Structure 1
Amino acid sequence: MNLSIGELVTRSSYQHDIVFRVSNIEERTVLLHGEDIRLEADADPDDLVLIEGRDLETRRKKQKDKEDYSFRLFRQDFQLMKEKRDYESTSGYHQPNNYFQIPARVLHLDGDRLYLKKCIDLYQRMGLQVHGVHLDEKEMPSKIGALVKKIQPDMIVITGHDAFSRNKGAKNDIRAYRHSRYFAETVREARKVVPNLDQLIIFAGACQSHFESLIRAGSNFASSPTRVNIHALDPVYIAAKIAFTPFMEKVEVWDVLRNTMTGEKGLGGVETKGLLRTGMPYIDEDFEQYY
């Protein structure tokens, strides 16, 4: 079968369970990136089957339904948080609704250019300020320090593709993972600039990543505790939950995970303060340009 970069395929040896995008083609090896999950894999060309037509449309519809459901859950959660902020900021609705909010600034590093675009679209739908950067996972450690100093984010998302290989070692051996060591090193470099977990919130990881190493390196949240795959958009939901929680409130780990598409099997973290700051009085629309 003649394959082209960008085509969508499944693997016969894995019962066609995951849709992959062809990322690179060598003589007898095809590099694959998950179309909807942050997994990287190698495959023999003879093991791959092109997916197209009705099968592709059916899979895409199921995936979109899952994403829409997760977004609706987040919107409900967001509305409840907004009503609570309105009530507290106006002394129980006895004062005029005359306040402003300083939004969190997010720096999103992604090893996948297409995923980065999908994530930025979702950040914008949620009303979050994001600076997106596409970098190969191996480049991230050397670039993160300068990016943190330049952009001065409140939160960093460090993600891309990853995978655990039993052939390379045990689950507790970070060398058995494609990119976990680069994610962990990137977190450590960011922590050299901002050590405090409440002054800079960090999410790190992708599919099957070495969760313990990422938390130990200084991440607030990371993947993947049970080495399962995570959805491409899950880091955005984690970022949004923290960004829209007032900074005087603690973000419980379960509250962050419950609206993700993967849940606690693929995502975890530590208690963290929210990032949203509210002030008053709100002057006029021109006031917003300063934030």
Structure 2
Amino acid sequence: MNIKIGDIVTRPSYDRDLLFRVIAVNEGEEQYATLIGEDIRLIADAPLSDLEVVDVQEQQRRKEQEEQLLERSLKLLRQDYDLIREKAEYGMTNGYNHSHRLFQMPGKVLHVDGDPNYLQKCLAVYEKIGVPVYGVHCTESEMPNKISALLEEVRPDILVLTGHDAYSKSKGNKNDLLAYRHSKYYVKTVYEARRKIANLDQLVIFAGACQSHFEQLIQAGANFASSPSRVNIHALDPVYVVAKLSFTPFNDRINVWDVLRNTLTGAKGLGGIETRGLLRTGMPYEAE
């Protein structure tokens, strides 16, 4: 079957476990395609002989399964947010002893993504759960040079640096940064961001994608990163991390597991360090 750019495909050698979109085809002496995950932040090369085009019905079936999974995670996030709001209201009203209405200011996000389609997916979820966000599509290699100006322009509380990545065992062991497709760019971008804002609570950073070099990202200054076990992460995992940060009061410290438990990947794909929340509650609120 002729494989072309834009096709949705699976790999029989991997039991057709994931859907990929074809972004480039090399039909020269080495016939292969470059793929990006439809729902995971993985970029990979695969021989054309190991690709099958997925029909519309199968795409729809998998999409419905994916939506059910996402809705369960969103439900958990909403439950967490409701509990946080109730706790804040109780404290700010001195045990409900006055009736002033409150307002809340969640942490503001700058989300820089190497994949424009994933960026739009993430922005839609941010909107659903009420996280203020400024989204930018930027290739991974351009991120280090652009991050300083973006931080000055947006002045975020949370910075997300993500896109696609992959670890290649043939290029080195897992400690070798050069064995990764894009980790070196994420690491350099985190480093540049920390040159601008060094305080780990003043700017909270999530960085990485599928199979990224977790240890180097944390050492560069990220609060949260992927991927401790070099596994794939879901396209929306950064959003779930950010939501927990954005809706936790600034005077509370976040247990790392509390952040990871609502993600779709969990501790194998994501990790981090103890970090302060970013939600601020005020009063009174007077509607016009």
Shift of 1:97: 3.5
Matched, 1:266 2:257: no
Cross-structure match for 2:88: 85
- Counterpart secondary structure, 2:40: coil
2: CA distance between counterparts of 1:151 and 1:64? Answer: 31
Aligned to 1:26: 26
The TM-score, its normalising length taken from structure 2, stands at 0.96
Whole-Å Cα distance in 2 between the matches of residues 250 and 109 of structure 1?
A: 25
Choose 5-14 or 201-210, whichever is displaced more. 5-14
Cα distance in structure 2, aligned partners of 1:78 and 1:52: 39
1:125 and 2:125 matched: no
| Partner residue in 1 for 2:43 | 40
Shift of 1:235: 0.2
Q: Kindly indicate whether the alpha-carbon contact (under 8 Å) linking 1:34 and 1:40 is maintained by their aligned counterparts in 2.
A: yes
Corresponding position of 2:119 = 116
Alignment match, 2:201? 198
**Residue identity (%):** 56
Given the alignment of the two structures, is residue 174 of structure 1 paired with residue 177 of structure 2, yes or no?
yes
1:149 maps onto 2:152 in alignment = yes
1:33 CA drift (Å): 0.3
* Contact persistence 1:250–1:273 (CA under 8 A): yes
Letter of the structure 2 residue corresponding to residue 52 of structure 1: D
Residues 1:96 and 2:99 aligned together? yes
SS of aligned partner of 2:141:
coil
- 1:239-254 counterparts in 2 under 5 A? 239-254=242-257
Runs of 5+ in structure 1 lacking a partner? 286-291
Q: Which digits, 9 at most, give the CA deviation of each residue in 1:212-245, with x for residues without a partner? A: 0000000000000001110000100100100001
The range that moved more, 85-94 or 262-271, is: 85-94
Q: Retained in 2: the 8 A contact 1:101–1:276?
A: yes
Deviation of the 1:188 alpha carbon: 0.4
One-letter amino acid of the structure 2 residue matched with residue 162 of structure 1: D
Aligned mates of 2:109, 2:128 — CA distance in 1: 14
- Name the residue aligned to 2:16: 16
CA offset at residue 127 of structure 1? 0.6
Query: Match for 2:10: what amino acid?
Result: T
Which whole-Å CA distance do the structure 1 matches of 2:286 and 2:66 have between them?
43
Kept in 2, the 8 Å contact 1:86–1:97? The answer is no
Q: Could you tell me how far apart the structure 1 residues matched to 2:62 and 2:18 are?
A: 10
Q: Tell me whether 144-153 or 275-284 shows the greater mean CA deviation.
A: 275-284
In structure 1, the partner of 2:279 is 276
Q: CA deviation at 1:103?
A: 2.7
| Maintained 8 Å contact 1:103/1:128 | yes
Task: Verify the 8 A CA contact 2:140 2:186 in the aligned structure 1.
Answer: yes
- Distance in 2 (CA, whole Å) between partners of 1:97 and 1:272 is 30
Q: Distance in 2 between matches of 1:217 and 1:100?
A: 35
Flag structure 2 segments of 5+ consecutive residues without an equivalent. Answer: none
